[in-house]
Amino acid sequence: MLRFRHLKAEAMEGKNANLEAAIDQLLNVEKQMRFAGDVVGTKKAVSDILQLCFEAKDWKSLNEQIVNLSKKRGQLKQAVTAMVQQAMQYIDEAPDLETRIELIKTLNSVSAGKIYVEIERARLIRRLAKIKEEQGLIAEAADLMQEVAVETFGAMAKTEKIAFILEQVRLCLDRQDYVRAQILSRKISPRVFEVDTSKEKKKPKEGDNVVEEPPADIPSLLELKRIYYELMIRYHFHNNDYLEICRCYKAIYEIPSIREDPSQWIPVLRKICWLLLKQLVTMEVIQWTSLWNLYKDEFENEKNMLGGSLGDKAAEDLRMRIIEHNILVVSKYYSRITLKRLAELLCLTIQEAEKHLSEMVVSKALVAKIDRPMGIVCFQVAKDSNEILNSWASNLEKLLDLVEKSCHQIHKETMVHKAALKV
């Protein structure tokens, strides 16, 4: 211990002149400790070498010594882990961005392929990706994050895993790579957010992997739930999947911290109401013109949607859903109807009504036939020969049953009448 302090003092006095000499002496000590299998001594020697370089502000020597020490024959895993963890503390102390990036890249190359420092490597890549994103290089940041599959890391905390995957999803959405964003989002099961966090953590059994505590900047599980569903809203908004968007908002609304704050749950509830109108659940025809005149101003004011404002596309989609709803309602109450009357109920022209009806028939959302010369729509389902014969047989059976009951009643009345005459 005194020798380490003596070498450090000499290096600080002579700066660069004695820095190399002090490092060489510490390297000899590290070699002896490493060959002797002394974990504590090796870690101490490695730590002092890095500390000398850092205090001398010789960042080039620091990077060189990190690479050099990691490549030593028979280097101990504990020493490499301690070295990487110590060097990560120097990243924020770097004088400029270029030096910081160089140190991160050095540590990344040293930790690559080593399972015992996989968590440190994931954190390094996340920091590097954040720097790339701040520089406007979204594609590079996304590619960096996708190199790491944290779902296989047994020692990483669950919240840190989820936060890392959510960051991957966010960067994919930012670069408009929606296919990869969907693939990554499926690594997170929504059921993971329903775990009761109030329960005490179980103590790990002997032989189990020790899970590391997440860093202080990792959000809580409920906060991660909110971030997850906000990202899913952005994804579903791209596909115009309004039902899924509504489900995501409903999941956000159920978060306790949201429900306790009126300033947070009221806007969420308003969006749910817009995405799932009550009128679309009832089997009644909705007059589009009156509905739009009533809610148009409120609809246009809803601009803070996570995937974008409710614009012209959403308004047109809402109108289409209303038309489809009305056609389904008409098909429930009418077996046959004229195209003119159908167009009046839908608030459309005859050509538009026929177009929307044809689209629903093609998409198999509805069964209908249009007699264009007569201008009549038939909503009855076509029956095959077996169904027709079965229907006839059933009707004949009912008819014969009624005839038999009628004959029985006639015979009964006749007998009663004859008995009354005899008396």
DSSP code per residue over 349-397: -HHHHHHHHHHHHHTTS---EEETTTTEEE-PPP--HHHHHHHHHHHHH
* pLDDT recorded at residue 180: 92
Rounded to whole angstroms, the Cα distance separating 354 from 345 reads 13
List residues bridging with 337 in a β-sheet: 377
Contact 51/94 with Cβ under 8 angstroms? no
Numbers of helices and strands, H then E, in the chain? 19, 3
The continuous run of DSSP H or E covering 289 comes out as helix 288-301
* pLDDT recorded at residue 374: 87
* pLDDT recorded at residue 216: 82
* pLDDT recorded at residue 1: 45
CATH of 277-378, one of 1.10.10.10, 1.10.287.1400, 1.10.3720.10, 3.20.20.150: 1.10.10.10
- Ranges of residues in the chain with a pLDDT under 70 are 1-17, 195-209, 273-282, 298, 300-312, 382-383, 421-423
Rounded to whole angstroms, the Cα distance separating 151 from 157 reads 10
* pLDDT recorded at residue 231: 92
Residue 398: CB atoms within 10 A of its CB come to 10
* pLDDT recorded at residue 417: 79
* pLDDT recorded at residue 207: 47
Q: What is the pLDDT of residues 274-294, one digit of tens each?
A: 666 655 666 778 777 777 777
- List of residues 6+ apart from 388 with CB closer than 8 A: none
Q: Interior CA angle at 324 toward 319 and 326, to 5°? A: 95
Question: 400 — phi, psi (to 5°)?
Answer: -65, -35
E strands, 133-249, in order? none
Kindly report whether the global pTM for this prediction surpasses the value 0.75: no
Q: Quote the distance between the C-alpha of residue 340 and its chain's center.
A: 46
| DSSP code at position 209 | P
| DSSP code at position 193 | G
- List of residues 6+ apart from 356 with CB closer than 8 A: 320, 323, 324, 327, 346, 348
Rounded to whole angstroms, the Cα distance separating 355 from 361 reads 10
Token pair in block for residue 9: 């003092």
Q: Which residue has the tokens 């502000």?
A: 57
Q: Among 23, 28, 22, 58, which residue's Cα sits nearest to residue 41?
A: 28
DSSP labels, 302-317: ----TT----HHHHHH
Burial of 144 (0-12, 13-18, 19+ CB in 10 A): buried
Rounded to whole angstroms, the Cα distance separating 421 from 411 reads 16
Q: What is the domain partition of the chain in residue ranges?
A: 1-116, 145-193+214-276, 277-378
